[in-house]
Amino acid sequence: MSERRDLLIEIGTEELPPKALRRLSLAFADAMNKELAATGLRPEKTLVYAAPRRLALLIKALPVSQADRESVRRGPALTAAFDDDGCPTQAAIGFAGSCSVDVEALDRLETAKGSWLSYRVVEKGQATAALVPGLLVKSLAALPIPKRMRWGDRDDEFVRPIHWVVLLFGDEVIDAHILGVKTGRNTHGHRFHHPQGMYLAEPEAYLPLLETEGHVLPDYAARREAVRAQVVEQANLLGGEALIDDDLLDEVTALVEWPVAISGQFDTDFLQVPSEALISSMQDHQKYFPVVDNNGKLLAHFITVANLASRDPAQIKAGNERVIRPRLADAAFFWRQDRKQTLAARADKLRSMVFQKRLGTLFDKQERVAALAGRIAATIGADTAHAERAARLSKCDLLTSMVYEFPELQGIMGRYYALHDGEPAAVADAIQQHYLPRFAGDDLPAAGVAQAVALADRLDSLVGIFAIGQQPTGDKDPFALRRAALGVIRICIEKGLDLDLDELLKAAATAFADELDASPAVAEVFAYVMDRLRGYYQEQGVEVDLVDAVLATHPLRLLDIDRRIQACRSFRLLPQAQSLAAANKRISNILKKTGQTIPDSVEASRLTEDAEKQLADALTEMHHAVVPMLDAGDYTPALTRLAGLRNSVDAFFDQVMVMVDDEALRTNRLALLKSLRDLFLRVADLSRLQS
């Protein structure tokens, strides 16, 4: 086995962008591994390290050189290489010359097609140390850095200025210049605890040296867990529970090399402000972790994570308490000021806020949404007046100072202000909940009024944006229409709303009559929602052919589609399913090939064979039993009953010739098959199911 050594690469920089740190480190590892693999160098594994001032890779057991590569050059056939006397011909001499050897040094290559002159060339593998600098430069250039920067008087570019580069292969430094910086074996510790260089004898010393002497935790995952554990511990000491948002935890982890959690407090008077506003201020602006009690009520405490072990942590605590006070005071001021004007009084100002220049203002959108929400509410048995009122107030909190400062609180603050204004609870809840779901797996609007407004808002956007030709393309979806379509799907299906999607889209299109003719967009949006529906079921593990079998029957109600799909999933498990699916496929092919109009009814007097009489009788009996189930949307028991037709169907195809010469007899048998297929089509096109 060839010799192997560990390779340590560390790029020491100014503080890296915290929100991009983890992504940069993983991309660095991927790029370097890809470059190594392309040269035939494959390590046992690669350990990834990332801290605010460094990106590092510990590449374990890397071969010290490429393997030698042997190649065979094939020359002329032996019959052409030598004359009758065994002397080399000009062809052999020329081939030997091109290989820089005598003819006697050439080999013979025996193949199924004959014998040839050949020359074996062994290409010596290059030393890994010679290859690494070039591979490293290519890897750094491939990192996903939107905007690179230059520093000093050099032309080198990177995400941040580079101060040192460690390139250690075993116990030897690979001498090179990387982005203008000479490589070495000295790393650097914490900016304040240990700023001077630290000698690295070998790559394995990197992690323990930084942790023990350097006051740096370079392992991102370990540092993240240290932050989380310390925050939890501080919250426990306060008698509460920390609110640990994953994104905030990632960002704080990327901001500190040596995390030390410290708790602080603020004036309890601030707790009169809605907790969501205080939490947003602490998390988004200060990068603090809020603390709540056992009932989820916000406490007048916060936890910050310092980037050093201070000799006087009380000073850090006091400093953070001074910093947070004006931020919370701003939130309290906005809360007081915003309540001096009702949401309804702000509605008229939405006339000056453009939703989309061809689709009008936010005021125009709210009016359209109100009309559609009222229609939906009436259909699902919710309060129509409340739905219309909620829709007309749904965007008014965008004009408040609190939402201007904290955009993530839109809807949330609208609910608070609506309750303060004396609006009904259903209206206030709908103002907040009509934004749900905001992402995959998010909660859905709880009550009918909120569901009506949520659906109306999304359908208005979908139809309007499609009508002006700005539907999503590729990765571009500026109006979040994919999310809007998925929201419509989830609300209708998961909240059990039996709504006709086609009718709702037509109603939404009609509301644009004064601005543009949106009616052509109805079919496009319907198809778009169906495409998103396929993805919705794919994530649940539902087979694509099963979804296509249901959609092929063109149902218009999302809830009805879901019931059919669930029924087909159950049907597929039955022993009769495969045979009946094959029969439906055979019937479909027969009916397509006839090219004639098939009557809807079967003439009993023209049934001559026992098997066709038996099938006709079974179909009649089944029709009486199953149609009421299908009309009621009880597809699962209906398909279970229809599975009982298997024996009759199998006997028919075994014993009856459909395409006979007698036209009347043939047509009657086709009508019998059509009636069978039509019964199954009330649920799905089973001919599309794969075996």
State residue 313's pLDDT score: 92
Burial of 173 (0-12, 13-18, 19+ CB in 10 A): middle
State residue 677's pLDDT score: 84
State residue 578's pLDDT score: 81
Please give the average per-residue pLDDT across 371-394, as a whole number. 96
Burial of 422 (0-12, 13-18, 19+ CB in 10 A): exposed
Quick one: what percent of the chain has pLDDT higher than 70?
99
Residue of 427 and 648 predicted with greater confidence: 427
For 38-49, what is each residue's pLDDT tens digit? 998 999 999 999
Q: Of 74-83, 483-492, 589-598, which range is least confident?
A: 589-598
For 506-556, what is each residue's pLDDT tens digit? 999 999 877 688 889 999 999 999 999 999 999 999 999 899 999 998 999
User: In the 3-class helix/strand/coil scheme, how is 565-607 assigned residue by residue?
Assistant: HHHHHHHHCCCCHHHHHHHHHHHHHHHHHHCCCCCCCCCHHHC
Query: Cα–Cα distances in Å, from 336 out to 329, 332, 350, 399, 400?
Result: 11, 6, 22, 15, 11
- Share the mean pLDDT of the chain: 91
State residue 86's pLDDT score: 82
Class of domain 351-541: mainly alpha
Asked whether residue 204 carries a pLDDT value surpassing 90, the answer given is yes
On whether the CB atoms of residues 498 and 632 are closer than 8 A, the answer is no
On whether the CB atoms of residues 645 and 622 are closer than 8 A, the answer is yes
pLDDT category at 691 given cuts 50, 70, 90 is: low
Burial of 263 (0-12, 13-18, 19+ CB in 10 A): buried
Residue of 24 and 577 predicted with greater confidence: 24
CATH code: domain 575-688 is 1.10.730.10
Q: 169 forms bridges with which residues in the sheet?
A: 7, 172
